[in-house]
Amino acid sequence: MGAEMSDQGHSTDFLYPFLEGQETDAAGLLADLATSARSKAAESARLQEESLAEWDAGIEAAGRAMAERFAAGGRMFTFGNGGSSTDAATMAALFARPAHGRPLSARCLAADQAVLTALGNDVGFDVVFARQVMAHARTGDIAVALSTSGSSEDLMVALAEARRRGLLTVGFSGYDGGRMSVSEDVDHCFTIRSLSIHRIQESQALVGYRLWSVTQHHLEALQNGAPR
């Protein structure tokens, strides 16, 4: 029992290696925590800057294409798994209910638990997003898939269905890009080149915000008849 309790007591040591053993130096512990936090913040800022620089032209092209779709009455559908599902919901909310700018038709396909669990149970999890694309999307709409691996089967199936139906397809991936980065079913793919899920999602959020900003810019230009 004693050994079991000891193992449980150190079950999270791998997350913070500087907490090994019984730390009694409070000042030293706080200093280590502060150093860790600064290091993570610096890495996140560096990755965000590099990601925006790498995908600047791609964001511009995708934002222009999305603006044209929205201007013609198109709608955006976002989706993802796990933490990426909350990022998908955040992106849909940014487009649909912005603090400023034009509200756009955007919906997160991961938001309805009843639909997700029904499809997963009755048909199979691989089609939980594809079936919703079939039910709701039409030619001229936009599909945005968010993933850290870029290879989730349910996302790839949905993107393929979206392409068949004439949607503009956008992917957010991490690591080396996964299947999204080489798929013919994805019109625009933004890969965040990191091995950390946390850093990937932080940079995806910033790239997503920049994509929204560029889309708004091109929509305004379309409305005013100005050159883009």
Per-residue pLDDT of the chain (228 residues; tens, 9 = 90+): 444 444 444 555 555 555 555 555 788 778 777 777 887 888 889 999 999 999 999 999 999 999 999 999 999 999 999 999 999 999 999 999 999 999 999 999 999 999 999 999 999 999 999 999 999 999 999 999 999 999 999 999 999 999 999 999 999 999 999 999 999 999 999 999 999 999 999 999 999 999 999 999 999 999 887 655
Whether 70 is in a domain gets the answer yes
Whether 28 is in a domain gets the answer no
Whether 7 is in a domain gets the answer no
pLDDT at 5 (0 to 100):
44
Range of the domain at 161: 47-224
Reported pTM: 0.84
Count of domains observed in the chain = 1
pLDDT at 21 (0 to 100):
52
Whether 133 is in a domain gets the answer yes
Show the 3-state SS of the chain. CHHHHHHHHCCCCCCCHHHCCCCCCHHHHHHHHHHHHHHHHHHHHHHHHHHHHHCHHHHHHHHHHHHHHHHCCCCEEEEECCHHHHHHHHHHHHHHCCCCCCCCCEEECCCCHHHHHHHHHHCCHHHCCHHHHHHHCCCCCEEEEECCCCCCHHHHHHHHHHHHCCCEEEEEEECCCCCHHHCCCCCEEEEECCCCHHHHHHHHHHHHHHHHHHHHHHHHHHHHCCCC
Whether 24 is in a domain gets the answer no
